[in-house]
Structure 1
Amino acid sequence: MSYPKPILISELQTALSDPSWDSVVIIAPQFDAELPDNIQTVIQQQAKFDQRIGNSVVTIVTQEIAPKRLVLAPTGQLTRYFDDVRRYFDAAKLAAVEVIKMGSVKPLLVVLSDKSETYKNATTVSYLGFSQALWQPLEAREYHGESIEPVQTIGLVGGNIDVNLAAAIESGKYVARDLCGTEPERMAPPQFAQYCVDSFANSNVKVSVVDDMAVIERDYPLMWAVARASVEVERHQPRVIRLEYIPEGEITKTLMLVGKGIVYDTGGADLKTGGHMAGMSRDKGGAAAVAGFMKSVAELAPKGVKVVAELAAVRNSIGAEAFVSDEIITGHSGVRVRIGNTDAEGRLAMADLLSRFKDEALTEVNPILFTVATLTGHAARAVGPYTALVENGVAYKMGLGENMVKQGDLIGDPCETSRSRREDYDFVQPRTKADDLLSSNNGPSAVTARGHQFPMAFLALVAGLEQHDVNSTQPMPYIHIDIAGSGVENGDWQHGKPTAAPVAALLSSFL
C-alpha cells in the first residue's frame, strides 16, 4: 500500500536542470508570468500554433529543461465569487492522467496560485487532486501488482505548503478510498477489520475489534438487528472496530467519531429493486472516511487532542433471519425503536456506538461527537456533490459546522450546513405507546421532506444526546455528517472513485 510522497522543492530553476525528475507539470490560471525564461519561451513558441494553451491540458516535449516533458494544466477562471480552490484540484487530476499516459513516474508539480485567501492552499490541493487521479482500486493492485500505481514521489513547487500535512491528508485519503472502493467480498466485515489492523500496525493508534457474536448481540442490539441475516455466513459476520489515539501530555479536546460501515446494502427485507442495489458496496464510505481520518491523525500525532473512533462494519443481507419493518428493538440506551424501513439501516448500525460514546463522553475533556455516513439519497439531492452537516444545538451555537464549511472550502473538501428543526424531532416520534422512537418513514429519503435532516434527530434521540443539548448542565456538541452526495466522484456509486470526503475537512477544522 503506497501513495505518492510529496517532496518540497525550494528552487525551481535547479529542479529544471535535474534529470531525475521526468516531467514538469505547471498548474496555473495562465502561463505568461512567474515562470523561468526558458519555459516562457517554450510556451510562447507552442502557443503560436496551438490554441489549446491556456484552455485545456497540453503536453510539450522540449530540450530546454532536463525532464524533457512539460505539461500545462490551466485552472480556468478564479475571480468569480463561485470559483474555489477545487479549480486547482480538477486541473491537477487532468494533468495526472496525461503524466501517466506519457510514462512519467517522477513528476515535478509547479503551482502558480492566486494570492488571495481562497487559494492559499492551492499547492496542497493540487497535490491531493493529482494523487486522487493516480489511485487504483485495491483489487486492481492485488491482481496487477503495485506497478499500476507507478508514481511514488511528487516534487512540489509552490507557496504555503506543509509537506508533512499534505502527506498525512493523502495517507488518510488513500486508506479511505481503499476501504470504501473495494468490492463486498474482499472487504466483508472481517476483512474490513483486518485492513484496519494492518494499516495501524506499529502506529500510535490502538486498534481493537469486537468479533464475538454474543457480545455484539448483547451490547449493540440495533446493529445486531441489521446483521442478523448475515451472521450465519461466517465471512459476513459483523465487526465493531475501535481506533484510539491518545496524545502525550495534557488533553484539551476529545474527538469521538462513529462511522457507518455497511459493506453491502441489499436494503434488507425492504429490498432495493430496479437496479438500485448496484454500488451498495460503497455504503461503507462513512466508516472508511473515519478510518482514513484516523490514519491522518496517526501520521500527524497532534498534541492535546484525543481522537477515538468506532466503526460499525456489517452487511445488510436478506434471508430467513432478516429484520423487518414493524419490529420493535431496544437499543443500548434503552430506547425502544420501531423499524420503519429496513433500508434505513445505517442509522441503526451507528446508534448503539453513538450511545456508548455519549456515555464515555461524560468523562472526556471537551468532547465533540460525530457520525459519518453515506446515509441518505436526500443529501445527494439537496446539496449535490457537497458533504451535508447537520448539527445539534450545542454544535450550532459553537459554530462548528460553519467553521467546517470555511475550512473545507480552503482545502478543497467542501461542506454545507443544514439546520436541525423541530419538525425533524417530530418526524421520528412514536405513534403508539409500544415504542419510543420511529427509525424512519417507509418511503425513499430522496423524496421525503427533510430526508437528510431528520436522521440526525433520530440519532440524537436514540443515543440520549438530547439530554446533553444547549440547556443541559453537561452539553455535548454533535455533528451528523452525510456524505451520500460527496463520497464518490460524479455521484457514480458503482464505478466512480471514492473521494475520501470529509477527511481533509475534518483535519483542517478540528486539528
Structure 2
Amino acid sequence: MELVVKSVAAASLKTATLVLPVAEGGKLGAIAKAIDEATGGALASVLKRGDLAGKVGQTLLLHSLPNLKAERVLLVGTGKDAELGDRSWRKVVTAVLAVLKGLNGSDAALALDDVKVAGRDAFYGKTRLLAESLLDGQYVFDQFKSKKAEPRALKKITLLSAKAGASDVERAVKHAVAIANGMGFTRDLGNLPPNVCHPSYLAEQAKALGKEFKGLKVEVLDEKKIKDLGMGAFYAVGQGSDQPPRLIVLNYQGGKKSEKPFVLVGKGITFDTGGISLKPGAGMDEMKFDMGGAASVFGTLRAVLELQLPINLVCLLACAENMPSGGATRPGDIVTTMSGQTVEILNTDAEGRLVLCDTLTYAERFKPQAVIDIATLTGACIVALGSHTSGLMGNDDDLVGQLLDAGKRADDRAWQLPLFDEYQEQLDSPFADIANIGGPKAGTITAGCFLSRFAKAYNWAHLDIAGTAWISGGKDKGATGRPVPLLTQYLLDRANA
C-alpha cells in the first residue's frame, strides 16, 4: 500500500473515501466543519440524529454527499478527551483501516490533522504512529495456505497535511515505511515453520540481503569455525541437532570509517525443544518463535539499509536449533566459553544465554560504541511484564535511558529491571565458574546477570522480548515484529535522522 502526503483542501480532493474525525458529543474540528459547510450541513444533520456518538474507534460511512469530490465520507470517533493517548490513537487508525479494507475503493484520504495525541508533536510524531499502524495492519502471512487472501482494492492512502508541517509528515512516512518493512521481514521470518527456517536458511536470508543492498558485508561462520573460535557454549547448544549452527555477521558501514559501530546481537534459536530438559508438549509449536531476537535484528537492519542511515552497524545472529539426541548436551555438562569462563549447564532449556554469551565475547573485536542483545530469553519476563512490555537491563545508565526513551517514542516500550550484585550469587556453581540458571527466583534478572559477565568490555544492554515478540495461541497467533520500532528509533536518534 502506498502512502502519499498532500496539502490540499479536503473538499477539493477526488478520492473514494474521505476520513474525518468526530469527537464525543458530535464535535467537529476545523476540517470537518469546512466539509459540513460545503455539504450544506450534512454532517451536522447526521450527528444530530445520534448515529455516531464519537467514542474512540466508532465509525459511520456516508455516501454521495453533495458538493464533494469524495465518493464516500467515513466519520471516525476520537472520544471526549482533548488529546488521545497512543493506544487510543492506534484504535482510531485500526478502526479506519478495518472499514477501508472492506470497501471497494482503491484509495482513501485521511484528514486527521485536528486530532491531538498526547506527547506527540502535531506532524512527525503523530503521523509516524499513524503510518506504522496503517502499514503493519496490512500484513498478511499466507504463503503456506492453499487459498491465498483475497487481493484488497485499497492501494493508496493520502495523508492530508497543513503546508507548514508537510515536510515533517513526509519524513514520518519515510521512516514509517522503512520500519513497517522491517517489521514485515521480522514477522515473516518468525512465522515460518521450523522445517523451513533453520540456521542455514537464516544464513541464506543474510546473503540475499547482502545482494539486495550494496554496502552490506555478510560473513557466515559454520560449526567448525564456531568450535575453532573456542565458542564452547554456542557449539554445545547446536550439537544435538542435525541442523548445524551458524553465526551470521552482517556489517553495514554507513558512517565514517573512524566511527565505532553499534552492535546488535540476536538470539536465533530456530526451534527450542528444551533439549534433554524437554519442554512440555502443549504449545511447543510456538518455540519456532525463539529466533525472534535474530529476526528483529534482521528487520532493524533492513530499516537501516532502506534509510541508509549515516551510522556503522554490526549485526551478529547466533543461530542454532536446540534438539534432544544422543549427541545433545546433558544437564551437568561443563563447557568452556570463548571468554575462557566455564559454565555448568544445569538446564539445557536455558540455551539462549549460551549462544549469546559467546557472541557477546565475539562482539569485542568490533570495538563497539554499544552492544544491545535481543532475545526471547525467559518465560519469567512474561510473568513479570506480560506481553505489552519488553524487559531491559544493562551496565550503562545512559544506554539504558536511551533505549527506554526510544521505546516510549516508538510506542514499543521497555521497562528496566535491576542487575544488583546480590542476584549474581544465584549463579554460583560448585564445579564451574558459573551455572547457566539461577533457580526459580528472578529468572529474567539472573539471565541478564549471566550475560553481563560476558559484556564487561563495552557498554551493553539486554532486551528480553519473550512476551512481546509474538502473540500466543488463538487465531491471532503470530510474530509481532517487535522490537523493530524501538531499535530503529534508537538508531535514528544516534544518526540524528
> Under a length normalisation based on structure 2, what TM-score does the superposition of the two structures give?
0.86
- C-alpha distance in 2, partners of 1:354/1:149? 44
Aligned residue pairs, count:
471
**8 Å CA contact 2:217, 2:252 repeated in 1:** no
* 2:378 alignment partner in structure 1: 376
Which string of whole-angstrom CA distances, capped at 9 and with x for unpartnered residues, describes residues 108-146 of structure 1?
Answer: 333343165345512210111122221012635x85568
2:348 counterpart of 1:337:
no
- Residue 29 (structure 1) shift: 5.5
- The structure 2 residue matched to 1:388, chosen from 388, 391, 395, is 391
SS at match of 1:371: strand
- C-alpha distance in 1, partners of 2:184/2:197? 15
- C-alpha distance in 1, partners of 2:403/2:198? 32
Which string of whole-angstrom CA distances, capped at 9 and with x for unpartnered residues, describes residues 368-408 of structure 1?
Answer: 0011011111212212211111111xx21x2x222322232
Once structures 1 and 2 are overlaid, which stretch shifts more, 351-360 or 94-103? 94-103
2:129 counterpart of 1:130:
no
* 1:320 alignment partner in structure 2: 326
SS at match of 1:453: helix
Where in structure 2 are the equivalents of 1:280-429 lying within 5 Å? 280-303=287-310, 305-361=311-367, 364=368, 367-384=369-386, 385-392=388-395, 395-396=396-397, 398=398, 400-429=399-428
Which string of whole-angstrom CA distances, capped at 9 and with x for unpartnered residues, describes residues 221-242 of structure 1?
Answer: 32221111223xxxx3322222
Instruction: For 2:270, give the aligned amino acid.
Output: V
Where in structure 2 are the equivalents of 1:31-42 lying within 5 Å? 32-37=28-33, 39-40=35-36, 41-42=41-42
- Residue 23 (structure 1) shift: 2.8
* 1:90 alignment partner in structure 2: 91
- The structure 2 residue matched to 1:507, chosen from 473, 485, 488, is 488
**8 Å CA contact 1:177, 1:499 repeated in 2:** yes
* 2:190 alignment partner in structure 1: 180
- Residue 150 (structure 1) shift: 6.0
- C-alpha distance in 1, partners of 2:364/2:152? 42
- C-alpha distance in 2, partners of 1:494/1:376? 24
- The structure 1 residue matched to 2:247, chosen from 233, 240, 243, is 240
* 1:478 alignment partner in structure 2: 460
* 1:452 alignment partner in structure 2: 444
- C-alpha distance in 2, partners of 1:497/1:77? 34
Instruction: For 2:378, give the aligned amino acid.
Output: T
For structure 2, list consecutive stretches of 5 or more residues without a partner in the other structure.
493-497
- Residue 307 (structure 1) shift: 0.6
Once structures 1 and 2 are overlaid, which stretch shifts more, 269-278 or 344-353? 269-278
* 2:77 alignment partner in structure 1: 74
- C-alpha distance in 2, partners of 1:488/1:437? 31
- C-alpha distance in 1, partners of 2:251/2:153? 33
Once structures 1 and 2 are overlaid, which stretch shifts more, 184-193 or 289-298? 184-193
**8 Å CA contact 2:191, 2:478 repeated in 1:** yes
- C-alpha distance in 1, partners of 2:140/2:401? 33
- The structure 2 residue matched to 1:24, chosen from 5, 13, 18, is 18
Cα RMSD (Å): 2.7
Describe the shift of the 1:492–1:390 C-alpha distance in structure 2 as closer, same or farther (beyond 3 A).
farther
**8 Å CA contact 1:402, 1:417 repeated in 2:** no
- C-alpha distance in 1, partners of 2:209/2:20? 33
- Residue 252 (structure 1) shift: 4.1
- C-alpha distance in 1, partners of 2:284/2:473? 13
SS at match of 1:480: strand
- C-alpha distance in 2, partners of 1:139/1:481? 30
Quote the sequence identity (%): 23
Describe the shift of the 1:404–1:104 C-alpha distance in structure 2 as closer, same or farther (beyond 3 A).
farther
- Residue 274 (structure 1) shift: 5.1
- Residue 353 (structure 1) shift: 1.2
- Residue 294 (structure 1) shift: 0.4
Which string of whole-angstrom CA distances, capped at 9 and with x for unpartnered residues, describes residues 433-483 of structure 1?
Answer: x311111146xxxxx32221121211121x2x23x3xxxxxxx21000111
* 1:223 alignment partner in structure 2: 234
Describe the shift of the 1:339–1:42 C-alpha distance in structure 2 as closer, same or farther (beyond 3 A).
farther
Instruction: For 1:504, give the aligned amino acid.
Output: P
- C-alpha distance in 1, partners of 2:32/2:117? 19
- C-alpha distance in 1, partners of 2:378/2:22? 37
- C-alpha distance in 1, partners of 2:285/2:120? 38
SS at match of 1:225: helix
- C-alpha distance in 2, partners of 1:150/1:230? 45
Instruction: For 2:174, give the aligned amino acid.
Output: N
- C-alpha distance in 2, partners of 1:435/1:59? 66
For structure 1, list consecutive stretches of 5 or more residues without a partner in the other structure.
443-447, 469-475
SS at match of 2:370: strand
> Under a length normalisation based on structure 1, what TM-score does the superposition of the two structures give?
0.84
Describe the shift of the 1:480–1:436 C-alpha distance in structure 2 as closer, same or farther (beyond 3 A).
same
- C-alpha distance in 2, partners of 1:352/1:187? 22
Describe the shift of the 1:370–1:27 C-alpha distance in structure 2 as closer, same or farther (beyond 3 A).
farther
SS at match of 1:283: helix
Describe the shift of the 1:27–1:13 C-alpha distance in structure 2 as closer, same or farther (beyond 3 A).
closer
